Chains A and B, each alone.
Chain A
Amino acid sequence: MNAIILSAAFGVVMMLCSFLIKNKSNFRHIASVALLILLIGNIADTYGYTFFAIDTHGMLQFNRFGLLFNSIAIGSTLLYVLLTGKEIENAGMHVAEYFTLILFVLCGVTLLSAYNNLLTLFLGIEIMSIPLYILTGSDKRNMKSNEAALKYFLMGSFSTGLMLMGIALTYGGTGTFSLEVVRNAPNMYKGLVSFLEILGLLFLLVSMAFKVSAAPFHFWTPDVYDGAPSVFTSFMATIVKAAGFIAFIKLCAVRMAETESVVDWKMIYAIIIVATLLVGNITAVFQQSVKRMLAYSSIAQAGFMLFTLISLNDMAYEGILLYSAAYSLATIGIFAVLVKMKDYTFDGYNGLAKTQPVLAATNTVFLLSLSGIPLTAGFFAKYYMLAAVVKTGNYTWLVITGVLFAAVSVYYYFRVIQAMYFKEGNAETTTIVPSFKYGLIALAAIIILLGIFPTLLLRWLYF
């Protein structure tokens, strides 16, 4: 509860700052302090020190898993603001509002990690999405940014409509909005699991799949990620996607698992996973722009994260946490470097190793983590995902498909490394301050540390 209320409050504070404080560069310091307080508040909440005791009538439920995910999300946002805060100032004119919107998105994220009621799910998704529509279109002079905002809005509201229809149908089928359905309550539909409910759950599934950019509902991702200013793409591609996943998994674990006796949802998950992996990896191979390639690659990573749905055991939960952390850190790092480049195409990276060796080296670490090469956090993340599925005993063909597509992904990630190190060129970047390099090195060090000792992160789940 701390995080939800504190993030909304700090959002309002930042909004007030926009006309009370004149110096532009103070905003990111205020935002960093706010995020730090938010993080501390969340950690306090994890160990039981809630500052706000509000009775939500069972609509919100705070468990260890959700609170740890909150900490990861807030921590990643803090790293993100520290690393690329300067670039946010260059994204547009209204700097304080951008930080406000980021804090509001965080509010939605923290709401999503704790929801226990379909109403709170809807609220969380909407609170998370609407500021993102604005952030996508924040570079008003860039035509691509405007177009991306429009497409995001249109398709986002379409998916909201689908989600609402789904919720309506489930309500008609069960009579309650709560996530855990008590099936023998007096005013329940006597047929236990009704057709209405299952249809509703299908719509809900489609809408959540849209949010996490699973194929075949991924069409917004390349355009939006490509069009939005790179700083905000970095935020969207990591924390928001991870939050979407947490919501998705909670929904599936509770609601759809209940109807397992009647229908087999795993086949649908399998179809979606295969389609996502296929579209994400294969289309990324032939891209000319690194930013668009990263957009498609985030679809592919989403495909990997969907493996959790097939297994849904303890290892899967640990896996999704680790995957969120690893993927967020690596993507924040890559986009931090991307923002500094003048040319976003692959040729624009030629020869970066000679002009900026630190950037090239840390970029390599990030790319290796995304490909899942051992010694980086990404390897263990993928391992946990696949091991959880193998543990259940079925769906080995899915695991093999996942591994094959991970091999395809190595190609397009390594194209960047090849351009940086092995091709001759003049890679131009904007000015880089030493603290930026230290930040990148620290981020790379965290990734390698998590790659050697993944339990450093995971044991907080149990302590």
Chain B
Amino acid sequence: MSEIPLTHILFVSTALFFIGMYGLFTRRNMITMLMAVELMLNSVNINFVAFNKYLFPENLDGVFFTIFIITIAAAEAAVAIAIIINLYRSHHSIDVEDATEMKW
């Protein structure tokens, strides 16, 4: 099995990161925005593991960091869902454009 060059993997993770970013400022559905955030965090995971395996194979730092990221992402997702549910109860919509009472 030939080695996949590092650049290919980096390309994938960068693309995922920017797709996530694009989703975050384009989408109006709150759940979709949450999904975009998770996409961003996971693309970083790919990055960590790739760097660890290709550049510094003796250590395991990157992989450990990935574990931490997954944990924290889970906690954040829990909080996010709670907030979205709360918002739905008062605004009766999960459109982020409906929650723009505070401006200027």
Contact = CB atoms under 8 A, between A and B. Distances in A.
Interface string A150-190: 11011001101100110111011001110000000001010
Interface string B74-104: 0110011011101101110000100111110
A150 B99 contact: yes
Given A133-B83, A134-B79, A157-B37, A222 B65 contact: no
The 7 tightest CB contacts between A and B, nearest first, are A161-B40, A168-B47, A164-B44, A172-B51, A147-B99, A157-B37, A223-B102
Interface of B: 17, 20-21, 24, 30, 33, 37, 40-41, 43-44, 47-48, 51-52, 55-56, 58-59, 61-62, 64-65, 68-69, 72, 75-76, 79-80, 82-84, 86-87, 89-91, 96, 99-103
A421 B3 CA distance: 75
A149 interface: yes
Residues of B contacting A: mostly: helix
Contacts of A158: 21, 24, 37, 40
A353 interface: no
Contacts of A60: none
Contact of A137 (B21, B69, B86): B86
A122 interface: yes
A226 interface: yes
Contacts of B100: 147
Contacts of B65: 119, 122, 167, 171, 177
Interface string A84-114: 0000000000000000000000000000000
Given A130-B75, A144-B102, A175-B56, A150 B87 contact: yes
A146 B91 contact: yes
A451 interface: no
B33 A154 contact: yes
Interface residues of A, number: 40
B83 A222 contact: no
A154 B24 contact: yes
Interface of A: 119, 122-123, 126, 130, 133-134, 137, 140-141, 143-144, 146-151, 153-154, 157-158, 160-161, 164-165, 167-169, 171-172, 175-177, 187, 189, 222-223, 226-227
Contacts of B43: 165
Contacts of A153: 76, 79-80, 83
B51 A168 contact: yes
A121 to B, nearest CB: 11
Contacts of A123: 68, 72
A141 B61 contact: no
20 contacts: A119-B65, A122-B72, A123-B68, A123-B72, A130-B79, A140-B89, A140-B90, A143-B99, A146-B91, A146-B99, A153-B76, A154-B33, A154-B96, A157-B76, A158-B37, A168-B51, A171-B48, A172-B47, A175-B55, A177-B61
Contacts of B76: 126, 130, 153, 157, 160
Contacts of B48: 168, 171
A212 B30 CA distance: 25
Contacts of B87: 146-147, 149-150
